[in-house]
């Protein structure tokens, strides 16, 4: 008789999907994944510190171009208003941002691996698509912000008759905040598609809301764009509007595809589905119920017994 092969032990992912893990096992898993994500960010930060110089040159290019055009000086000079540690702290901040971007596959995978057991298979497939689209959209928002910053510096520093020396910490905070806001704004269509996927809002309703949506986009652009001129605001709002209508198109396609797969397609909410009487199995007659026996009258109380005793 051949020996039986030992059954394969269920993986941690399978146990989490089945719900057989205890609370402490979930906490240990979370601790391990946070540790791996932190190590990935630390390694990415070290790499970011090594390549910080070209990244800083990219961030300071709008200011350097302004100085070269208006002052004729090829040297970019910043002031360290907060102290001599400002240049080093700015380099660490840039290294941290670069490290987060470089290690994004690591910490995003750890986050996904912790959440994925609670998702259905089609939801996991949608997660892959969202993660693949989110990075290019964020990069496009960052590049647009870099272009807007170059225009805004000409507006702010070109007015008046003052010689302005920009603080290094304030400049990098200004540039990175604008880039993060623009990158987050470009993730807006993914949120719309996600709400449609889970059934919170339909594509038809999103299309009906296009007027207030466009107005809110221009309002958001007016708030986050550093310049008061309508140039940067219009560019950001126009890009968000195009992404919004693209997301609405995806939502309409998803709703149409979902309706075709539904067994109640073509029926109104208050309309009953037709019964296929011809295809139904015949129902056999049941056995007749016997006539119940007559209930005897209760004994009189005078005999010493009632209905309960």
Residue-wise pLDDT for 197-208, tens only, equals: 777 888 888 888
Cα distance between residue 156 and residue 229, in whole Å: 11
* More confident site: 46 or 199: 46
Of 48-57, 88-97, 180-189, 287-296, the range with the lowest mean pLDDT is: 287-296
Of 125-129, 169-173, 286-290, the range with the lowest mean pLDDT is: 125-129
- CA distance between the termini of the chain: 68
Average pLDDT of span 213-236: 82
Q: What is the pLDDT of residue 274?
A: 59
pLDDT > 70? residue 122: no
72: left (phi over 0), alpha (psi -120 to 50) or beta: left
Q: Are 205 and 232 in contact (CB under 8 A)?
A: no
Q: What is the 8-class DSSP label of residue 167?
A: B
pLDDT > 50? residue 68: yes
Q: What is the pLDDT of residue 121?
A: 67
Structure tokens at 259: 């309706």
Cα distance between residue 188 and residue 184, in whole Å: 7
Sequence length of the chain is: 309
pLDDT band at residue 160 under the 50/70/90 scheme: low
Q: Convert the pLDDT of each residue in 256-268 to its tens digit.
A: 887 777 665 555 5
Average pLDDT over the chain, rounded to an integer: 76
Of 16-30, 77-91, 95-109, the range with the lowest mean pLDDT is: 16-30
Average pLDDT of span 147-162: 71
Cα distance between residue 131 and residue 147, in whole Å: 25
pLDDT band at residue 11 under the 50/70/90 scheme: low
pLDDT > 50? residue 303: yes
* More confident site: 229 or 271: 229
- What are the residues whose beta carbons fall under 8 Å from the beta carbon of 106, sequence distance 6 or more? 36, 37, 40, 41, 44
Q: Are 202 and 251 in contact (CB under 8 A)?
A: yes
Average pLDDT of span 26-41: 85
Q: What is the pLDDT of residue 1?
A: 45
Q: What is the pTM of this model?
A: 0.63
Structure tokens at 232: 């940067």
Question: What percentage of the chain exceeds 90 in pLDDT?
Answer: 2
Q: Which residue has the tokens 């070269």?
A: 68
Average pLDDT of span 63-76: 71
Average pLDDT of span 179-185: 85
Average pLDDT of span 248-253: 88
Of 46-60, 113-127, 251-265, the range with the lowest mean pLDDT is: 113-127
* More confident site: 300 or 187: 187
* 3-state secondary structure at position 162: coil
pLDDT band at residue 166 under the 50/70/90 scheme: confident
Cα distance between residue 77 and residue 165, in whole Å: 7
Q: What is the pLDDT of residue 272?
A: 57
Q: Which of 210, 218, 211 has its CA nearest to residue 239?
A: 218
């Amino acid at each position: 008789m051949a020996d039986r092969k030992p059954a394969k032990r269920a993986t941690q992912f399978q146990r989490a999907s089945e719900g057989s893990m205890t609370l402490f096992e979930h906490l240990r898993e979370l601790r391990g994944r946070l540790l791996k994500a932190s190590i990935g960010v630390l390694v990415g930060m070290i790499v970011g510190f090594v390549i910080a110089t070209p990244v800083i040159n990219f961030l300071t290019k709008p200011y350097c171009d302004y100085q070269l055009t208006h002052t004729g000086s090829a040297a970019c000079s910043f002031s360290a208003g907060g102290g001599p540690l400002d240049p080093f702290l700015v380099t660490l901040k840039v290294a941290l941002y670069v490290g987060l971007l470089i290690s994004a596959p690591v910490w995003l995978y750890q986050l996904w691996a912790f959440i994925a057991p609670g998702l259905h298979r089609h939801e996991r497939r949608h997660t892959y698509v969202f993660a693949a689209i989110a990075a290019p959209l964020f990069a496009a928002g960052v590049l647009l912000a870099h272009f807007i910053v170059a225009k805004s510096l000409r507006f702010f520093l070109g007015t008046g008759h003052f010689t302005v020396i920009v603080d290094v910490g304030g400049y990098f905070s200004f540039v990175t905040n604008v880039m993060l806001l623009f990158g987050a704004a470009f993730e807006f269509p993914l949120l719309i598609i996600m709400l449609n996927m889970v059934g919170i809002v339909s594509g038809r309703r999103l299309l009906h809301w296009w007027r207030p949506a466009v107005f809110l986009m221009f309002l958001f652009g007016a708030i986050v764009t550093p310049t008061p001129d309508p140039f940067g605001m219009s560019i950001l709002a126009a890009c968000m509007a195009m992404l919004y209508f693209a997301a609405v198109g995806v939502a309409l396609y998803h709703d149409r595809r979902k309706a075709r797969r539904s067994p109640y397609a073509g029926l109104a909410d208050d309309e009953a589905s037709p019964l296929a009487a011809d295809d139904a199995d015949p129902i056999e007659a049941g056995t007749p119920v016997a006539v119940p026996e007559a209930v005897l009258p209760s004994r009189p109380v005078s005999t010493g017994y009632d209905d309960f005793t």
